[in-house]
Amino acid sequence: MKHAWNLAVAAGLVVSGAVMAGDDPFLWLEEVEGEQALEWAEGQNERSLDYLKSHDLFDPIHDRVLEILTSDDRIAYPSLMGGEVYNFWRDANHVRGIWRKTSRESYRSDAPDWDVLIDVDQLAGAEDENWVWAGANCRYPDYDRCIVGLSIGGADAAVQREFDLETREFIEDGYVLPESKSRIAWRDRDSVFLGRALSDEEMTDSGYPRTVRIWERGTPAEDAELVFEGERSDVAVTGMRIWDGDDYYDLIVRSPGFFTRHYYHYHDGEVSRINVPDDASIVGLIDGQLLVDLKSDWTVGETTFNQGTLVAGPMAGFETDKPELTVLYEPGERSSIAGVSTTENSVLVNILDNVVSRMERFTHDEDGWHSESLSVPEMGAVGVVSTDDRSDRFFYNFTGFLTPSTLFEADAATDAHEEVRSEPEWFDSEGMHVEQYEAESADGEMIPYFVVKPKGFEANGANPTLLSAYGGFEVSRTPFYSGVIGTSWLERDGVYVLANVRGGGEFGPRWHQAALQENRQRAFDDLIAVAEDLIERDVTSPDHLGIQGGSNGGLLVGAVMVQRPDLLNAVVCQVPLLDMKRYHKLLAGASWMAEYGDPDDPDQWAYIKEYSPYQNVSADADYPKAFFTTSTRDDRVHPGHARKMVAKMLDQGHDVLYYENIEGGHGGAANLEQRAYISALMYSYLHDRLAGGKSAE
């Protein structure tokens, strides 16, 4: 039964008529750090936390998740640079984290001898700033200087500062930029490519750099030489130096849209276009051969190279009308390329075959290209973690729903594999098992999904079931091991389901493009089909079924909740897009119009408005008690989406929960303690909603 909530009472404030003016009465909630908006968020947090933290499982789930997330038994994943292993690490003693390195030999041992380079906790204390690690970009091939990113509270925007790996100090008169979405990429020791995003004149509509400049050491950034300028409507423009052994090429990449790129070769002060399709991606350079991943068919001369194919050809040929191309790998109907990596002499291609991984190695010599399969573990997900540019050694991770993540060191040249370390079994998986099913979507497409069944599972329709999906931007969701899901859900008799809906990349570009723009409804139909199939198989029932998604996945579950509330009893909607009328005007939203369409175009708004959750939520519908989360410091997906959706639903009389983390960025949490806290809130909510069902209300 729905509870009537008065918005002003729930918020703890009265909204002025001036702020409420316009077609959207909740526009004031888009003012990220506005006093009224923050008071509203605090009021909602207080109300929701009183409910969520009162659940009997909150404390035990929180304590166990925090123990897992901060355990020293986790894998310290390596990043190879100059033959050494680098790692960023957080634990209970290093909440903000440490950046450290060790030798490859030491890393293989049970207790590596880590050399700490930057202690972010100490730095934050010394500078009295809420620093969150935002990565490091180190200069090839010497790896003596790095551009270190430090975010305030976890936002995408970051301060960038040059760091000397030899002295272990920041260089005061080095390359330094204030908090922004600016980009710096190394050319050599004394020059970088600079993309400034410090003023409207320098930025695209999406908030990213619009120009590429060469910034010489010791000169003001304002005086950096302009070498390329894009359009304001572009997503971004960036410069980079790519290496092929001791050779290099300076590239400029202009992105007119999220899925389109124009590549240029910058040489001797001149810029020339590289001949690849607008939607293709350059994914590597080795032995003078440029590697290109095709997202659509490409006809060169009389030969057509099919969508999803990886091709290669001499770099110089791509500055002509007819590049000389060789097919390295062409996926089948139910397979796709999940990733391409290079070592000193090898190209590693990670392939998904019906959402299960395998790996191929390609090499090039005077006789052309050669391939062989690498003997990685089967029936799970494989991902290359890091490669060595000075040998054929590389690290990869293997995981599955019931298989703890295991890190291997391998040699592509010999196909030798050595297990380096693995995570503990965080939960007791004995008696659990995994099945892969398919559901028929509204248009007849078969949608695969995985079901992880707990010990003692019976198909009786009463199992609390969490269904998760993403369905966008060609992002593939593959099997993975999660101690958090295992201990918080599977061990407590929950069923976990991962759906491979369209919009993702599980079956290559076609799977993604099938749900673009005017076809977005297909992604929602796919998730609905999986939900219906789970119910038909008696895995669960509407009283016990919940859905979860974040970011684009938040849009997915928000739309499905609005369209088919009868199927659900719980919705976890995290850092979501929901107001699709204004998404392109908020933060980085303009960069996603290639995915969703342009709401300002009447023809495109005609289909967007049919599914936009914020525009379609109704006072007359009976929605499950949904749980929305966001972050004040999310500068990618605006927190106004979640705020406004909750405000509107409360105003309509729906019972809804909300939690806004003051920091955390688009990931929702700035540190491991916050991740544990939010996980405990989510799983307490899911157990409360799904273990008892609607009758429990």
Instruction: State the catalytic residues.
Output: 551, 666
Report phi then psi at 174, rounded to 5.
-90, -155
> Could you tell me whether strands 176-180 and 158-164 are parallel, antiparallel, or unpaired per DSSP bridges?
antiparallel
Q: Token pair 């009758």 is at which residue?
A: 695
Q: Which secondary-structure segment (H or E) carries 100?
A: strand 94-103
CA 639, 640, 644 angle in degrees (round to 5)? Answer: 130
Q: Which two tokens stand for residue 347?
A: 């190209």
CA distance 525 to 528: 5
> Could you tell me whether strands 94-103 and 115-119 are parallel, antiparallel, or unpaired per DSSP bridges?
antiparallel
CA distances from 104 to 108, 379, 383 (A): 6, 29, 20
Q: Which secondary-structure segment (H or E) carries 342?
A: strand 335-342
CA distance 117 to 101: 7
- The alpha carbon of 439 is separated from its chain's Cα centroid by a whole number of angstroms, namely 26
Across 217-269, where does the E strand assignment appear? 225-229, 236-244, 247-257, 260-267
CA distance 231 to 246: 34
CA distance 651 to 15: 13
Cβ atoms of 154 and 665 within 8 Å: the answer is yes
Cβ atoms of 398 and 377 within 8 Å: the answer is yes
Q: Which two tokens stand for residue 504?
A: 């993702």
Q: Which two tokens stand for residue 61?
A: 């789930």
End-to-end CA, the chain: 7
Length of the chain: 697
Closest among 273, 255, 254, 275 to 264, alpha carbons compared: 273
CA 549, 553, 558 angle in degrees (round to 5)? Answer: 80
Instruction: Spell out the alpha helix ranges (H) of 537-639.
Output: 552-563, 593-596, 602-611, 613-616
Q: Token pair 């909607």 is at which residue?
A: 573
Q: What is the DSSP string of 102-135?
A: EEHHHHTSSS---EEEEEHHHHHHHHT--EEEEE
- The alpha carbon of 442 is separated from its chain's Cα centroid by a whole number of angstroms, namely 28
Q: Which two tokens stand for residue 531?
A: 């939900």
CA distance 163 to 142: 14
Bridge partners (DSSP) listed for residue 499: 449
Cβ atoms of 432 and 452 within 8 Å: the answer is yes
